[in-house]
Amino acid sequence: MPNPVPTGADAAAVAAGDALFKRNCAQCHAVNDVVVGPALAGIAKRRPMSWIIPWVKNSSKMVAKGDEYAVKIFNQYSKQQMPSFQLSDQEIKAIVTYIEFQEQQMTDPVATGVVACR
């Protein structure tokens, strides 16, 4: 079954997340490609929202506290600090919603228009 284009509150969250992603994240991240920082596809599967929110707000603090995953990412990307963002929890959740929607678009052949003919 194809992943439908979101409507209502979901569409609003995706649209808000799109704008926030482009304004705050796209300089260093893409959904499916490594840029300066890691590709963000699957982030909600790799880390819980309770980890993502403080990471986005202040990754340096998490690294300094010795969070194992935070230290791993910090070291993996040449000890380059991710800037702290003054985003609300809801704004960060909207960005993650946008990332998840983009993942669905990439994996759903009907949504992307890539359908094999038989």
Report percent pLDDT > 90 for the chain: 75
Residues 6+ apart with CB under 8 A from 108: 2, 3
Q: Is the pLDDT reported for residue 45 higher than 90?
A: yes
pLDDT class of 115 with cuts at 50, 70, 90: very low
- Tokens 């990412």, residue? 73
- Mean pLDDT, rounded, for 89-108: 91
Q: Is the pTM of this model over 0.85?
A: no
Q: Return the biggest CA–CA distance within the chain.
A: 56
What CA–CA distances, in Å, run from 69 to 5, 17, 108?
A: 33, 24, 30
82 in Cβ contact with 43 (< 8 Å): no
pLDDT of residue 117: 45
- Mean pLDDT, rounded, for 12-29: 95
How many beta carbons lie within 10 A of that of residue 94, not counting itself? 22
- Mean pLDDT, rounded, for 30-49: 95
How many beta carbons lie within 10 A of that of residue 88, not counting itself? 11
Q: Per-residue pLDDT tens for 74-92?
A: 999 999 999 999 999 999 9
